[in-house]
Amino acid sequence: MKGPFTVCVFCGARPGFRAADALAAQRFGRRLGERGLALVYGGAQVGLMGTLADAALAASAKVTGILPRALSSQEIAHPGLTELVLTEGLHARKAEMGARAQAFVALPGGFGTLDELFEALTWQQLRLHNRPVGLLEVDGYFSRLLSFLDGAVEAGLLAAEDRARLKTHQDSDALLDALGAPRSQP
């Protein structure tokens, strides 16, 4: 894959009620740009997605949005992206995002974020890709989810090595480092 190391980020199309989540999205987007990395994400200008994209763009990152046509008015396509790709549905969106990514990261979000995160992990578990997957833990947002996964290991329903595939950090740079992202690119 030519071009900068590309991180696919899953996060909420809603802003949520916690200022820490918006701040984390802003910091993560900024660090992508400062490190010379590219962002591929859901393409919206609203919610945490918009905050993430705005910060990445302000830090000179290449930002590609992948948005289903049916959601382009509902999620409001971001007008300032480097590239906007419209797909014919959610499955095509996820496939296109995955094809462009060298790593996957989830920030706080809802059903869509979790769906995308777990699909990326499942594809990795099934060896459909070997790209790293991570969570940016923001003020305990994912703590119950991580406890659930630990419980699935204890119950014998999730292999410990599969649980270990999910890299989790509270710091953007630590997470990007764990995912193999370069510190800076020209």
pLDDT per residue over 110-123, tens digit each? 999 999 999 999 99
State how far the alpha carbon of 109 is from the alpha carbons of 25, 105, 135, 175, in Å. 11, 12, 11, 18
Asked whether 12 and 109 are in contact (CB, 8 A), the reply is yes
Give the pLDDT confidence of 134-144 residue by residue, as tens digits: 999 999 999 99
Distance in angstroms between the alpha carbons of the first and the last residue of the chain: 16
Q: CATH assignment of 6-177, given 3.40.50.1700, 3.40.50.450, 3.40.190.10, 3.40.50.880?
A: 3.40.50.450
Regarding pTM above 0.85, the answer is: yes
- Ordered by start, the domain boundaries in the chain are 6-177
Integer angstrom CA distances of residue 169 from 28, 76, 88, 138? 12, 30, 34, 9
pLDDT in tens, 78-113: 889 999 999 998 999 999 999 999 999 999 999 999
- Determine contact, residues 10/112, Cβ cutoff 8 Å: yes
